[in-house]
Amino acid sequence: MQLVTWNTQWCRGLDGRVDPARIVQYAVALGDVDVLCLQEIAVNYPGLAGSPGDQVAQVQSALPAGWQVFFGAAVDEWTAAGRQRFGNLIATRLPVLQLQHHPLPYPPDAGVRSMPRLCSVLTVQDPALGPVRVMTTHLEYYSKPQRMAQALALRALHLQACAQAAQRPQGLADGSPFQPKAHTPHAVLCGDFNLQAHEPEYAMLAAALADEEGATAGQAGQPPLWDAWRLLHPGAPQPPTFCVFDQTYAPQPLACDFIWVSDSLRSRVRAVRVDGVTQASDHQPVLLELQ
């Protein structure tokens, strides 16, 4: 299975052009891609540079035949411009088993710019791995308290899903909403975390299972989530994914777009690649390949 994650900056390149088709065509050409996770997808934002319209429909139109698109709006509001939505998109050519959208914590942080955040979870059926939860998110940029709360929630969501897979609820084969679900410990968590590897939020995501968390997400004393890059390149920093060509938001390039895998998948990570060439966004795409 190959997956690409990319913060698209509403599909706006450093040349100022807003072009969802360019993003899609570049991303799927990075490999034999099965799943595409895009952050900062906009619907009806005439006030943003490039006046993005319905980017969900534009992404769907640009994808090859057979792909499905699932959009989670972290921001969904009605203004003078009409209904406006902004959030995460997951597209895949794999069979889909389940879709969930989890609003992330949004604690008050007075006087600090912020917006609601979301984790979209699409469970797909991989021919070799079976069901895999693909979790994509975009954490708060300006508020550190909100970002930590959101990172803690992501860990909790993963642990809860692993516990459900280990202690499955009763399912009724009656065609009702209580019918069996695709519970699985296999997960990929990816997106723009708006933090770097030396920060406490990263350390919390990478921390070993605590006694009170149980061991359903992996072995006791081991992390439930693993940074896929560090699994393959221990001791080597991940190449930068932000401000590579434009230092508007930071004085030097940095890595803030990560791919984490569940403990159940850590032996399956075959490749992680950061594309440092494209300027179709202010972030760089990252590709994961699982055996």
* pLDDT tens digit at each of 291 positions of the chain: 999 999 999 999 999 999 999 999 999 999 999 999 999 999 999 999 999 999 999 999 999 999 999 999 999 999 999 999 999 999 999 999 999 999 999 999 999 999 999 999 999 999 999 999 999 999 999 999 999 999 999 999 999 999 999 998 898 889 999 999 999 999 999 999 999 999 999 999 999 998 888 778 877 778 999 999 999 999 999 999 999 999 988 899 999 999 999 999 999 999 999 999 999 999 999 999 999
Domain extents in the chain: 2-167+182-290
Q: Tell me the C-alpha distance between 188 and 200, whole Å.
A: 21
Q: Tell me the C-alpha distance between 111 and 107, whole Å.
A: 13
In this structure, what token pair is assigned to residue 44? 């009806």
Q: Is 230 helix (H, G, I), strand (E, B) or coil?
A: helix
What's the topology of domain 2-167+182-290? Deoxyribonuclease I; Chain A (3.60.10)
Contact assessment for residue 6 and residue 26, using Cβ atoms and an 8 Å cutoff: no
Find all residues with CB under 8 Å of 250, minimum gap 6, and list them: 242, 243
Q: Side by side, which strands form the sheet with 35-43?
A: 68-79, 82-92, 35-43, 2-7, 286-290, 269-274
**Is 0.85 topped by the overall pTM?**
yes
Residues comprising the chain, all counted = 291
